[in-house]
Amino acid sequence: MTTVRTLALAALCLWAAASPSHAADTTAAQQLAHWSAQAGSPGNADKGKVFFTTRHGGEWSCASCHGTPPTAQGKHASTGKSIAPLAPAFNPKAFTDTAKVDKWFRRNCNDVLSRECTAMEKADVLAYVSAFNALKP
Ligand code: HEC
């Protein structure tokens, strides 16, 4: 049997393909509530948009890979691999696995900001991506 680690690696190579089973232990709404509580202030979609689309001194913004608006398939800025939409209304799997969310926040924030994102920044991003719905892409 393949290990979880191997599955995670396989997922890296097959973002667009069927993904391994996820824990489905959280939702975008729960993530938004969690990070807002940690930050002591509710996530703000407008601040999230600025954060998401701005480069923070490095080569990439979040939007470089996830697109603006993040409602369609994104494209990895260096590998060209496709990335499922980040906006939960357009991707039922987005923000449903705490371990995955934490992992990618850590990794992507490091790539973009050379540090971890703060709770406030995560709450703002959650508010931003959650603001999109099928009627208002
Ligand atoms: C260099 C490309 C790249 C950049 C830049 C990037 N990401 Fe990502 N991000 C990815 C990839 C690849 C995934 C994994 C997609 C998948 O497996 O579904 C991902 C996944 C995520 C996830 C997990 C979503 C889920 O399915 O639950 C979050 C949250 C996230 N990114 C946030 C951010 C934020 C915030 C920024 C900006 C600070 C950012 N990303 C910048 C490539 C990038």
Q: Which of 2-11, 19-28, 112-121 reaches the highest mean pLDDT?
A: 112-121
Given pLDDT bands bounded at 50, 70 and 90, which one contains residue 133?
confident
CB atoms within 10 A of CB 113: 19
Residue among 83, 93, 66, 92 at smallest CA distance from 12: 83
Report residue 104 as tokens: 């990618």
Q: Is 7 exposed, middle or buried (0-12, 13-18, 19+ CB in 10 A)?
A: middle
pLDDT score, position 126: 98
Please give all residues whose beta carbon lies within 6 A of any atom in ligand 1, as ranges.
11, 15, 60, 62, 64-66, 76-77, 83-84, 86, 93-95, 100-101, 104-105, 108-109, 111-112, 125
Report residue 69 as tokens: 């608006």
In this structure, which residue's CA is closest to atom 31 in ligand 1?
Answer: 104
Report residue 6 as tokens: 């191997």
Distance CA 60, CA 67 (A): 11
